[in-house]
């Protein structure tokens, strides 16, 4: 029998991982924000992370402060987080959201932000 490389359970899935360990690696958050460009326009940015969304947004802000940045976010003058959602497969969710119209992206971000605020209020 094949064993999971992470937990030792019986497995028949990809890369020698059991079903639960395989799904954990893809899980994470997809976040949506607004990037303010130097010409005054605003672009909607979609990204994904396994870590905290605020930690990732902090990296974007540090990149903006660099004088000669070559990245998409680094070329902008500001970045504002609209919201984030949890996904079991963050890679697929990011691709799907990027294909949507800006109006739909804003609705998803608004729902994600509302859910986050609701959780904060319950504490």
How confident is the prediction for the chain on average, in pLDDT?
A: 84
- Partnered with residue 46 across adjacent β-strands are 32
Instruction: Kindly report, residue by residue over 81-113, the tens digit of the pLDDT.
Output: 999 999 888 999 999 999 999 999 999 888 887
- At residue 90's C-alpha, the angle toward residues 88 and 93, to 5°, is 100
pTM of the model: 0.73
Sorted by where each begins, the domain ranges of the chain are 28-122
């Amino acid at each position: 029998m094949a064993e999971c490389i992470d937990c030792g359970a019986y497995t028949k899935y990809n890369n020698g991982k059991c079903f639960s360990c395989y799904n954990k690696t893809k899980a994470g958050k997809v976040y949506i924000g607004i990037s303010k460009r130097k010409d005054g326009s605003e672009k909607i940015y979609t990204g994904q992370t396994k870590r905290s969304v605020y930690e990732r947004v902090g990296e974007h802000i540090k990149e903006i402060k660099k004088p000669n940045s070559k990245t998409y976010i680094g070329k902008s003058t500001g970045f504002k987080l609209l919201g984030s959602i949890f996904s079991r497969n963050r890679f697929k969710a990011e691709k799907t959201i990027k294909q949507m119209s800006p109006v739909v992206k804003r609705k998803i971000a608004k729902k994600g932000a509302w859910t986050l605020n609701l959780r904060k209020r319950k504490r």
